């Protein structure tokens, strides 16, 4: 059965972010079921899901309450749209709930089917806002190198992933990027706080180059996730906020990963005190059980779009899909009643920080860092203290070994990252750290 499914997969299925030919040769892993923080493959192996799927299964697998919410909503109203002055109870209730959870000045939400669609929506809203304000020349959006904002053409353009820009022709015009606050990768020879200020200064320089009157918005993740769990130095965000305020530029904080408890607050913006104008969300909103995203819109932008905008010619068939919305609402209710976010902040985040830091003594590890339930290990060649030769693909090797040992860790180049479900226990964190060390040991042996 496993082999025939793998053969069919090879024959018919083009996977996202995959070398199609290489996967055809190696074959894919078949994941059949999941429970709590574990996934199970077709061979019956139990694997600790250190990535919560793709940073999304915040409540863990196998939550019957979410299954029931979906089934009940499917029976009641499996689909209706929210176009042309119609709505339905799940979309209304979810909108209200999200605005109650979000920072005070974010009081409206536009629903989408994914994080990428949320960022497409952001781009259209930002430019529309400035046009309505009588400043249509404010068109440029500044993102960050190595930032990730999705795979649609606008998402890819807002993101700063060079390999994505190199494929598929030109992106959306009027988008540019500045350096990322990646201290280990780009600033290790400097004091971290001075480096953070330097990255914020690079943003100011870019604004001046473009002309401040032409810059509409800056978009960034609170902590860069897909770029490698890059936690900015403390000096970074306050300095960025000051630059944006100086030039009257909107702040878009992409909460697709950091939102819904990952950093120990409902939103990464709360952790870093960011007060964004727009907040794209997805993933943890439904714990990944069904696809749903959205943009939380601050009063400044919402008031103009509502009062001056007329019809907004934008939307998706599945904007606010009733079944997805019902599951998301139940997910948020469960997170609240179970105190999941507070537990990450007060107990699990600090515990992971202590345990994860112990990996810093491993000869292959140049830095072990974590924030909330997100962690990263920077792999280095013990012989030189520098990065391994890229051709060795040390990160991918470590990822594959880790999987075989029973832990999903993701590799971004030679950065290993984890973002487990937020319902992980302290004992399971101990297991995670033990499995990560085993994977590092075997990787070291393979590379010796
Ligand atoms: N924004 C961020 C920060 C992300 O990490 C992702 C996905 O990983 C996206 C946007 C895109 O979301 P989606 O894959 O749901 O389109």
Ligand 1 pocket residue status of 340, Cβ below 6 Å = no
- One DSSP character per residue, 328-344 reads HHHHHHHHHHTTHHHHI
Question: Is the interface score ipTM higher than 0.95?
Answer: yes
Exposure pattern of 242-255 as b/e (b: 16+ CB <10 Å)?
Answer: ebbeeeebbbbbbb
Give me the average pLDDT of each 10-residue run along the chain (448 residues). Answer: 89 94 87 98 96 98 98 98 96 98 98 98 98 98 98 98 94 98 97 98 98 97 98 98 98 98 98 98 98 98 98 98 98 98 98 98 98 98 96 97 97 98 98 98 96
Residue 26: what pLDDT?
Answer: 82
Output the residue whose Cα is nearest ligand 1's atom 13. 115
Distance from residue 190's CA to the centre of ligand 1 (Å): 31
Interacting residues of 396 by C-beta distance below 8 A, sequence separation 6+ = 411
Distance from residue 56's CA to the centre of ligand 1 (Å): 10
Residue 27: what pLDDT?
Answer: 84
Q: Which atom of ligand 1 is closest in space to residue 224's alpha carbon?
A: 3
Ligand 1 site-directed mutation target among 257, 262, 290, most atoms within 8 Å of CB: 257
Residue 52: what pLDDT?
Answer: 98
CA gap 326, 286 in Å, rounded: 9
Residue 7: what pLDDT?
Answer: 92
Ligand 1 site-directed mutation target among 55, 149, 410, most atoms within 8 Å of CB: 149
Q: Which of these, 414, 411, 74, 126, lies nearest to 253 by C-alpha position?
A: 126
Coil vs helix vs strand at 147: coil
Distance from residue 297's CA to the centre of ligand 1 (Å): 18
Interacting residues of 70 by C-beta distance below 8 A, sequence separation 6+ = 289, 290, 323, 326, 327
Interacting residues of 190 by C-beta distance below 8 A, sequence separation 6+ = 183, 198
Residue 265: what pLDDT?
Answer: 98
Output the residue whose Cα is nearest ligand 1's atom 10. 149
Distance from residue 53's CA to the centre of ligand 1 (Å): 13
Q: Which atom of ligand 1 is closest in space to residue 150's alpha carbon?
A: 11
Residue 24: what pLDDT?
Answer: 81
């Amino acid at each position: 059965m496993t082999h025939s499914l793998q053969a069919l997969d090879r024959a018919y299925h083009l996977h996202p972010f995959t070398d199609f030919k290489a996967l055809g040769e190696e074959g894919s892993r078949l994941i059949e079921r999941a429970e709590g923080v574990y996934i199970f493959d077709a061979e019956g192996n139990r694997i600790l899901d250190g990535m919560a799927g793709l940073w999304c299964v915040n409540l863990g697998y196998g939550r019957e309450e979410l299954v029931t919410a979906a089934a009940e909503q499917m029976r009641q109203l499996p689909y209706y749209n929210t176009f042309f002055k119609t709505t339905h109870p799940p979309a209304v209730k979810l909108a209200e709930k999200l605005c109650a959870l979000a920072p005070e000045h974010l009081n409206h939400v536009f629903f989408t089917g994914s994080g990428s669609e949320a960022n497409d929506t952001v781009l259209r809203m930002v430019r529309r806002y400035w046009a309505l304000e009588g400043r249509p020349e404010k068109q440029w959006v500044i993102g960050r190198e190595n930032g990730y904002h999705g795979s649609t053409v606008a998402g890819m353009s807002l993101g700063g992933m060079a390999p994505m820009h190199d494929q598929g022709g030109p992106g959306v015009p009027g988008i540019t990027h500045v350096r990322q606050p990646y201290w280990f990768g780009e600033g290790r020879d400097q004091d971290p706080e001075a480096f953070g200020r330097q990255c914020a200064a690079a943003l100011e320089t870019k604004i001046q180059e473009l002309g401040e009157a032409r810059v509409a918005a800056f978009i960034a993740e609170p902590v860069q996730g897909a770029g490698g769990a890059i936690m900015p130095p403390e000096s970074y965000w306050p300095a960025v906020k000051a630059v944006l305020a100086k030039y009257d530029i909107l702040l878009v904080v992409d909460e697709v990963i950091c939102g819904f408890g990952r950093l120990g607050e409902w939103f990464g913006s709360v952790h870093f005190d960011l007060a964004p104008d727009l907040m794209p969300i997805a993933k943890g909103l439904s714990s990944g059980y069904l696809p749903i995203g959205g943009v939380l819109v601050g009063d400044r932008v919402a008031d103009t779009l509502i009062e001056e905008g007329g019809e907004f010619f934008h939307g998706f068939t599945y904007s606010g899909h009733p079944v997805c919305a019902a599951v998301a609402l139940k997910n948020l209710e469960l997170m609240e009643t179970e105190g999941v976010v507070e537990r990450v902040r007060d107990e699990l985040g600090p515990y992971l920080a202590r345990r994860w830091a112990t990996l810093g003594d491993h000869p292959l590890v140049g830095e072990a860092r974590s924030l909330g339930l997100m962690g990263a290990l920077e792999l280095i060649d013990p012989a030189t203290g520098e990065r391994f030769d890229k051709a060795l693909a040390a990160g991918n090797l470590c990822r594959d070994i880790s999987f075989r040992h029973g832990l999903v860790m993701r590799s971004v180049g030679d950065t290993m990252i984890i973002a487990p479900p937020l319902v992980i226990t302290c004992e399971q964190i101990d297991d995670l750290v033990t499995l990560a060390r085993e994977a590092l040991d075997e990787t070291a042996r393979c590379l010796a």
